[in-house]
């Protein structure tokens, strides 16, 4: 824009900023835009969250009591000594850590493999992304089918390989493995696509220079690619982690948390206490611990992704 | 990267074999769902090899659509997803414009709050929402589920759109304001057309998220407005899993999502990271 029109704008702004009416209008305009959304979020998000915080300070078993009774930090103190809670939390964290590590490794390897011009690369990429969009509930159902001991595909392949059939979902360890395999299958393409985009955005000259200097592929990877890609890797990990903390429908339909409590992640544990045992006070308190964990990761995310 | 063109034929063949193997393994579960849905009932219980040939039949589809009222559940899912998307897009685009184009007291904190709210696990929120909705006697209504869905889709839309609005050069706005256009007119006639790609991505993802939701629908609905994903899990119970019907239902639910995802290729990364990656 030329200087003359800039001057005109400054001048006209000067006029409109005079006078109380315009000043007031200028203050109020932003809220006219963000206000309606914030009001709705206040109703559907903030209010329920505060309500749940209040409930977490009450004893409220809906089967026995019509009204909640104030017990202060009672529910939180109960959590401290409640082994079932800690086991659920441990399972939740192992689930997230194991799944995210495998997803990162597979996603990164495939991103490097795909990082070249080849015939059909676009179609292959589009197809690889489909699992991300598979509804968790459908994914859980599918893997329950695949891991069925009598007619499931998993045992079919195991037997072809000369290995014995496994009752996947009837044993604690293999059931836990199964829900992780399900998550890895569905979500490594998420890591892949973010890292692929990151890789294709790296400056080509750096790699050409390294190649001309005779750097080996491994050295290039370790000393150039990974350091350059570090911010992207970090963002991918955090986004995936926060998302994996939300895992619920797939486990609900795949194992229902069992056998025993072997796949009862914290989210399933909370659901059970809220909607099977109707112990709303305890469930609210436990759900606040889950929020707290998600918030820790979110803080990392904000620091890395959105700093301006 | 460079080098592919200079590779020997064998190296290229090996490369394509690896790519093919990855695709086969990765798409196998989806193949299982679709192929099982086309199998007659007895086949599903007896045939062990997933690749054994069979005569495709639409019996399972007929069963769920016409005998198990799956059509109604699909209609419920559709209505809820569409209304949620309209509300989120309407309010979300206004808010994104507000956050992108004004600096006002608390704007940073508020927009950060919107981001953080995206990270709250749905199990945490579904609990108080259930209590409040049931106290108001609104369980099993469209309104309750739509409001619950805006709790995740509205923050998503706002965060996705902020970078789009920030990308519009300030000169557009100033020129229009000089012509005497009001803020709202500037927003509608200048900004909305310019951020149209963002609006499309936001709409598609918002629709998918609402369509895919399971937990809120499970907690807030029982019969009248049961959604398709909850109905699928229902086929699991009662008489033991009926895989034919379940996979047919699964295929039907997946179809619109896959079509939308394929339409969206160009913007998929922005959509998945809700605007963080540009």
Neighbours of A289 (CB within 10 A): 17
Residue B204 lies inside a defined structural domain of this protein: yes
CATH class of the structural domain A81-305:
mainly alpha
Q: Is the pLDDT assigned to residue A1 strictly greater than 50?
A: no
Helix intervals (H) in B179-227: 183-185, 192-194, 196-212, 215-220
Check whether residue B94 and residue B51 sit in a common domain: no
**Using 50, 70 and 90 to split pLDDT, how confident is the model at A270?**
very high
| Helices A47-55 and B122-135, axial angle in degrees (round to 10) | 90
Name the more confident of B4 and A147: A147
Residue B278 lies inside a defined structural domain of this protein: no
pLDDT of the residue at A8: 53
Who among A9, A297, A298 is closest to B174 (CB)? A9
pLDDT of the residue at A308: 45
**Using 50, 70 and 90 to split pLDDT, how confident is the model at A128?**
very high
Name the more confident of A9 and A89: A89
Q: Give me the phi and psi of B18, to 5 degrees please.
A: -65, -45
B97: nearest CA partner in chain A: A33
Q: Pairing mode, if any, of strands A58-59 and A69-70?
A: antiparallel
Check whether residue B131 and residue B211 sit in a common domain: yes
pLDDT of the residue at B53: 76
Q: Which residue has the tokens 């193949």?
A: B31
The whole-angstrom separation of Cα B274 and Cα A289 is 25
- Of residues A104, A102, A103, A121, the one with CA closest to residue A113: A121
What are the contacts of A53-61 at 24+ separation with CB within 8 A? Answer: A53/A284, A53/A288, A55/A280, A55/A281, A55/A284, A55/B127, A55/B128, A55/B131, A56/A281, A56/A284, A56/A285, A56/A287, A56/A288, A57/A281, A58/A281, A59/A281, A60/A279, A60/A280, A60/A281, A61/A277, A61/A278, A61/A279, A61/A280, A61/A281
In a mutational test of the A interface, the residue from B36, B112, B121, B183 whose CB has the highest number of chain A CBs within 10 Å is B121
In a mutational test of the B interface, the residue from A30, A179, A288 whose CB has the highest number of chain B CBs within 10 Å is A30
Residue ending a domain, among B29, B59, B89, is B59
Q: Is the pLDDT assigned to residue A182 strictly greater than 70?
A: yes
Q: Which residues of B touch A242 (CB under 8 A)?
A: 119
**Using 50, 70 and 90 to split pLDDT, how confident is the model at B276?**
very low
Read off the tokens for A201. Answer: 């955005």
Neighbours of B41 (CB within 10 A): 15
Q: Is A282 on the interface with B (CB under 8 A)?
A: no
**Using 50, 70 and 90 to split pLDDT, how confident is the model at B95?**
very high
The whole-angstrom separation of Cα B79 and Cα B75 is 6
Q: What is the phi-psi region of residue A200: left when phi exceeds 0, alpha when psi lies from -120 to 50, beta otherwise?
A: alpha
SS3 A216: coil
Q: Is the pLDDT assigned to residue B188 strictly greater than 70?
A: yes
Q: Is the pLDDT assigned to residue A56 strictly greater than 80?
A: yes
Q: How many domains does chain B contain in total?
A: 2
Q: Is A280 on the interface with B (CB under 8 A)?
A: yes
Q: Is the pLDDT assigned to residue A248 strictly greater than 90?
A: yes
Read off the pLDDT of each residue in B12-17 and give the average, rounded to a whole number.
Answer: 92
Taking an 8 Å cut-off on Cβ atoms, the answer to whether B236 and A118 are in contact is no
Read off the pLDDT of each residue in B190-215 and give the average, rounded to a whole number.
Answer: 91
- The helix (H) or strand (E) run that includes residue B250 is helix B243-263
Check whether residue B97 and residue B223 sit in a common domain: yes
Paired with A279 in beta bridges are A61
Check whether residue B157 and residue B240 sit in a common domain: yes
The whole-angstrom separation of Cα B22 and Cα B243 is 26
Residue ending a domain, among B59, B84, B100, is B59
Residue B277 lies inside a defined structural domain of this protein: no
pLDDT of the residue at B267: 79
Residue B114 lies inside a defined structural domain of this protein: yes
pLDDT of the residue at A31: 84
Q: Look up the domain containing B33 and give its range.
A: 4-59
Check whether residue B13 and residue B45 sit in a common domain: yes
The whole-angstrom separation of Cα B68 and Cα A294 is 39
Read off the pLDDT of each residue in A148-154 and give the average, rounded to a whole number.
Answer: 84
Residue B113 lies inside a defined structural domain of this protein: yes
Paired with A59 in beta bridges are A69
- A114 close to A196: Cβ distance less than 8 angstroms: yes
Q: Is the pLDDT assigned to residue A16 strictly greater than 60?
A: no
pLDDT of the residue at B6: 78
State percent of chain A over pLDDT 70. Answer: 90
Q: Is the pLDDT assigned to residue A25 strictly greater than 70?
A: no
pLDDT of the residue at B3: 63
Check whether residue B113 and residue B244 sit in a common domain: yes
Query: Which A-chain residues 14-73 have CB contacts (< 8 A) with chain B?
Result: 27, 29-34, 36-38, 40-41, 43-45, 47-49, 51-52, 55
- B268 close to A194: Cβ distance less than 8 angstroms: no
The C-alpha of B89 sits at a distance from chain A's nearest C-alpha, in angstroms, of 10
- The ipTM is 0.88
Taking an 8 Å cut-off on Cβ atoms, the answer to whether A33 and B97 are in contact is yes
In a mutational test of the A interface, the residue from B7, B88, B98, B119 whose CB has the highest number of chain A CBs within 10 Å is B119
Name the more confident of A289 and A1: A289
The C-alpha of A46 sits at a distance from chain B's nearest C-alpha, in angstroms, of 9
Taking an 8 Å cut-off on Cβ atoms, the answer to whether B258 and A305 are in contact is no
Q: Which residues of A touch B28 (CB under 8 A)?
A: 153
Q: Which residue has the tokens 């937990």?
A: B215
Q: In degrees, to the nearest 5, what angle opens at C-alpha A146 toward C-alphas A130 and A159?
A: 125
CA distances from A144 to A171, A242, B50 (A): 14, 24, 15
Check whether residue B263 and residue B177 sit in a common domain: yes
Read off the tokens for A285. Answer: 């308190």
B173: nearest CA partner in chain A: A9
Average pLDDT, chain A: 87
pLDDT of the residue at A134: 94
- Of residues B212, B200, B207, the one with CA closest to residue B93: B200
The whole-angstrom separation of Cα B36 and Cα B43 is 9
The C-alpha of A198 sits at a distance from chain B's nearest C-alpha, in angstroms, of 9
SS3 A279: strand
Read off the pLDDT of each residue in A262-279 and give the average, rounded to a whole number.
Answer: 94
Residue ending a domain, among B24, B40, B59, is B59
Taking an 8 Å cut-off on Cβ atoms, the answer to whether A280 and B123 are in contact is no
- Of residues A122, A127, A190, the one with CA closest to residue B26: A127
SS3 B128: helix
What does chain B come to in residues?
A: 278
Taking an 8 Å cut-off on Cβ atoms, the answer to whether B250 and A142 are in contact is yes
Q: Where are the domains of chain A?
A: 3-55, 81-305
pLDDT of the residue at B168: 85
Taking an 8 Å cut-off on Cβ atoms, the answer to whether A136 and B212 are in contact is yes
- A303 close to A251: Cβ distance less than 8 angstroms: no
pLDDT of the residue at B191: 87
- Of residues A293, A259, A268, A290, the one with CA closest to residue A176: A259
**Using 50, 70 and 90 to split pLDDT, how confident is the model at A236?**
confident
DSSP state of A29: H
**Using 50, 70 and 90 to split pLDDT, how confident is the model at A23?**
low
The whole-angstrom separation of Cα B256 and Cα B226 is 19
Read off the tokens for B218. Answer: 């499970």
Check whether residue B53 and residue B89 sit in a common domain: no
A268: nearest CA partner in chain B: B123
Check whether residue B10 and residue B92 sit in a common domain: no
The whole-angstrom separation of Cα B113 and Cα B121 is 15
Who among A33, A189, A302 is closest to B98 (CB)? A33
CATH number at residue B223: 1.10.3720.10
């Amino acid at each position: 824009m030329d200087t003359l029109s800039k001057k005109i704008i400054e001048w006209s702004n000067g006029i409109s900023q005079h006078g109380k009416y315009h000043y007031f209008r200028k203050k109020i305009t932003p809220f006219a835009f963000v206000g309606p959304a914030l009001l709705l979020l206040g109703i559907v998000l903030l209010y329920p969250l505060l309500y749940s915080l209040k409930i977490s300070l009450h004893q409220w078993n809906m089967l026995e009591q019509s009204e909640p009774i104030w017990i202060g930090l009672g529910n939180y103190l109960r959590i401290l000594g409640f082994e079932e809670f800690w086991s659920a939390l441990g399972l939740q964290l192992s689930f997230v850590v194991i799944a995210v590590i495998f997803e990162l490794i597979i996603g990164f390897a495939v991103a490097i493999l795909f990082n070249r011009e080849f015939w059909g690369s676009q179609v292959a990429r589009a197809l690889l992304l489909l699992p991300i969009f598979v509804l968790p509930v459908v994914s859980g159902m599918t893997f329950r089918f695949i891991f069925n001991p009598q007619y499931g595909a998993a045992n079919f392949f195991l037997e072809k390989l000369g290995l014995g059939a496994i009752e996947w979902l009837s044993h604690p360890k293999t059931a836990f493995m199964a829900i992780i395999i399900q998550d890895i299958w569905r979500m490594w393409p998420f890591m892949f696509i973010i890292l692929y985009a990151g890789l294709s955005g790296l400056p080509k000259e750096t790699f050409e220079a390294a190649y001309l200097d005779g750097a080996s592929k491994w050295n290039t990877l370790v000393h150039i690619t990974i350091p350059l890609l570090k911010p992207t890797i970090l963002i991918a990990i955090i986004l995936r982690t926060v998302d994996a903390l939300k895992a619920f429908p797939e486990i609900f339909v795949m194992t229902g948390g069992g056998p025993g409590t072997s796949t009862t992640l914290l989210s399933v544990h909370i659901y059970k206490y809220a909607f099977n045992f109707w112990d709303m006070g305890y469930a609210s308190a436990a759900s606040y611990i889950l929020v707290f964990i998600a918030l820790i990761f979110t803080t990392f995310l904000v620091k890395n992704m959105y700093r301006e | 990267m460079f080098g592919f063109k200079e590779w020997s034929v064998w190296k290229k063949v090996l490369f394509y074999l690896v790519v093919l193997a990855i695709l086969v393994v990765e798409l196998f579960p989806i193949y299982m769902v679709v192929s099982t849905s086309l199998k007659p009932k007895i086949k599903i219980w007896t045939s062990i090899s997933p690749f054994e040939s069979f005569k495709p039949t639409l019996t399972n589809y007929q069963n769920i659509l016409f005998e198990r009222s799956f059509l109604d559940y699909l209609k419920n899912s559709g209505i809820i997803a569409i209304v949620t998307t309209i509300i989120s897009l309407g309010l979300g685009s206004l808010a994104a414009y507000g956050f992108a184009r004004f600096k006002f007291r608390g704007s940073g904190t508020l927009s950060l709050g919107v981001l953080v709210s995206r990270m709250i696990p749905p199990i945490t929120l579904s609990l108080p929402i259930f209590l409040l909705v049931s106290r108001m006697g609104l369980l099993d209504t469209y309104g309750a589920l739509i409001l619950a869905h805006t709790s995740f889709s509205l923050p998503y839309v706002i965060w996705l759109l902020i970078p789009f609005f920030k990308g519009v050069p300030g000169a557009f706005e100033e020129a229009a304001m000089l012509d005497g256009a009001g803020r709202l007119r500037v927003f509608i006639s200048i900004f909305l057309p310019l951020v149209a790609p963002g609006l499309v991505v936001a709409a598609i993802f918002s629709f998918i998220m609402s369509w895919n939701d399971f937990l809120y629908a499970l907690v807030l609905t029982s019969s009248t407005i049961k959604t398709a994903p909850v109905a699928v899990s229902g086929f699991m119970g009662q008489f033991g899993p009926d895989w034919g019907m379940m996979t047919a239902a699964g295929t039907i639910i997946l179809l619109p999502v896959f079509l939308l995802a394929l339409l969206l290729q160009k913007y998929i990364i922005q959509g998945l990271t809700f605007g963080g990656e540009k």
